[in-house]
């Protein structure tokens, strides 16, 4: 449990409320807010200052609405403190929920199922049968491995540099030797 009395006394000035009355009533109000914060929020003095600074700059939102300290009234109360601190905690949770970067261990743990050579062949075959033409993008390298393993094409059938081909919008594409060999196979045997 923190003794936040000194910090609580500074909070009204941050958001434009009047200072706590210098009376027994003011003392009880500060003590009540101190207990309220400790029981419900468990924040440090620095967190309180940061929360109230964010409220003063209108950067806190609660239930989709901006927290506006000018509507709190003459003195700081439990309700106004609760509104600011709840919005502050939610803003911290939102920031913590967003990924900051990739954890290399998470990336290594990701299970990616790669297309097998046999699946690649089946996919291209299905696309050729459905569309009546070769697909623009397909796992040609994996399909090449399958066709070589089935002795359907020869490993030496690939050309080193590939070939230039006009693509969409007149741009030139370089088609690799493996893709060319697979396309030739499907053109002769399927299409």
Contact 26, 67 (CB under 8 A): no
Pick from 43-47, 67-71, 163-167, 183-187: least confident: 163-167
Backbone angles phi, psi at 172, to 5 degrees: -95, 130
Report whether pLDDT(73) > 90.
no
pTM, to two decimals: 0.49
Contacts 24+ apart (CB under 8 A), 114-117: 115/139, 115/142, 116/142, 117/142, 117/143, 117/145, 117/146, 117/149
Pick from 71-80, 105-114, 142-151: least confident: 105-114
Report whether pLDDT(147) > 70.
yes
Report whether pLDDT(118) > 60.
yes
The encoded tokens of residue 17 equal 């409320």
What integer pLDDT is reported at residue 108 of this predicted model? 61
């Amino acid at each position: 449990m923190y003794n936040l009395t000194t910090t609580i006394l500074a909070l009204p000035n941050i958001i434009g409320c009047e200072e706590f009355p210098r009376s027994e009533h003011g003392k009880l109000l500060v003590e009540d807010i101190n207990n309220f914060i400790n029981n419900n929020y468990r924040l440090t003095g620095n967190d309180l200052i940061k929360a109230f600074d964010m409220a003063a700059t209108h950067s806190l939102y609660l239930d989709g609405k901006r927290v506006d300290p000018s509507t709190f009234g003459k003195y700081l109360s439990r309700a106004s403190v609760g509104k600011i601190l709840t919005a502050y905690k939610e803003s911290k949770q939102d920031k913590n929920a967003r990924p900051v970067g990739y954890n290399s261990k998470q990336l290594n743990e990701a299970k990616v199922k790669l297309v097998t050579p046999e699946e690649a062949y089946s996919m291209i075959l299905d696309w050729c049968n459905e569309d009546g033409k070769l697909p623009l993008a397909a796992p040609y390298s994996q399909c090449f491995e399958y066709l070589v393993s089935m002795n359907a094409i020869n490993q030496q059938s690939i050309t080193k540099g590939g070939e230039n081909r006009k693509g969409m919008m007149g741009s030139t594409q370089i088609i690799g030797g493996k893709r060319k060999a697979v396309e030739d196979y499907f053109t002769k045997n399927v299409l």
